Amino acid sequence: MSEYAVTVDGELLDSNLFEEKSWDQLKKDYKIGDLKMICCGANAVPKTSIKYNRFFAHQSIECTTAPETIWHKTSKKIIVEEFSKLGFRAIEEQIGNGWIADVYVELDGRKIAIELQQSPQTLKVYFERQKKYSEFQIEAYWLLFPPRYLTIIKAIKHYRLKNEFNNKCPNAGFFPSLNNLPVFYIDDIEYKIKGVGLFNHTIEDFVISIVNNKLSYLSTWYIEGKKTLLK
């Protein structure tokens, strides 16, 4: 949201300068395409919050200049390209029965879904969505926007402490990782896939590991033959 927008004629509009009557008139008279967001040029919609604050919002949910959106589009593009290099056709936004995969590919009788999670989501929802994929014999891998990963790793830590260790941390410690939920993050600078246990690989290596069934779990996720904290 923003206090400002611009008309198609280039006039800058400041929501703070409107009176209640003129703002209501703008909301009544404007047509989609008349107003644009300054940040990205997307269609703008004049709105009033429940606290009676006036603002301009994107017509669509996402701003094309938002870090999360840039991350999502860039990550998806690279992943699709890496599968293509290996001779596999990866489909974007594949719709299934109760699921939509950001990237979907079939190879050698296997069905693969890769989710690029940029919005907040509880661990319970991850479990539910992972279960849905399992019901259709689809392997699902989760690649998160960095802030989302930090949150879910904390949730996994508490989940394991409660359900596996009776809220007492074992002397040997443990990884905040689950064998039924392959979850990592893609950093938004180098676009490398990272996770606990020194998991730090290029998207190319990650895709190759999936194709060759080299992504494994032993205390945490790792790629067979690659550097790891696991002994």
Contact 143, 185 (CB under 8 A): yes
What is residue 98's predicted lDDT score, i.e. its pLDDT?
Answer: 86
pLDDT at 64: 67
Q: Are residues 89 and 30 in the same domain?
A: no
Q: Are residues 129 and 202 in the same domain?
A: yes
Is 149 among the domain residues?
Answer: yes
Burial 182-221 (b: 16+ CB within 10 A, else e): bbbbbebeeebbbbbbebbbebbbbbbbbbeeebeeebbb
Tell me: the pLDDT tens digits for 48-63? 988 889 999 888 766 6
- Please give the Cα distance from 48 to 20 (Å, whole number): 10
Cβ neighbours of residue 36 under 8 Å, at least 6 residues apart? 5, 6, 7, 8, 42, 43, 44
231 band by pLDDT with thresholds 50, 70 and 90: very low
Please indicate whether residue 229 or residue 150 has the higher confidence score (pLDDT). Answer: 150
Of 58, 86, 102, the residue that ends a domain is 58
Residue 10 identity = G
Q: What is the pLDDT of residues 55-106, one digit of tens each?
A: 998 887 666 667 778 898 899 999 999 999 999 999 998 999 888 899 999 9
The verdict on 83 and 37 lying in the same domain is no
State pLDDT tens for residues 192-227. 999 999 999 999 999 999 999 999 999 999 999 886
53 and 115, same domain (yes or no) = no
In terms of domains, do 41 and 104 share one?
no
Count of structural domains within the chain: 2
Indicate which CATH number applies to the domain containing 173: 3.40.1350.10
Please, which pLDDT band fits residue 41 given cuts at 50, 70 and 90?
confident
177, 197 contact by CB (below 8 A): yes
- Residues 43 and 151 reside in one and the same domain: no
Q: State the pLDDT at residue 52.
A: 86
Report the alpha-carbon distance of residue 82 to residue 224 in Å, rounded.
19
Q: What is the mean pLDDT of residues 36-58?
A: 85
77 shares its domain with 97:
yes
**Structural domain for 49, as ranges:** 4-58
- Residues 196 and 101 occupy one common structural domain: yes
Whole-model pTM over 0.85: no
91 and 200 within one domain: yes
- The model's pLDDT over 172-200, given as tens digits with 9 standing for 90+, comes to 899 999 999 999 999 989 999 999 999 99
- Residue 228 included in any domain: no
How many contiguous H segments (helices) and E segments (strands) does the chain have? 5, 14
Average pLDDT over residues 123-128: 94
Averaged pLDDT, 40-47: 85
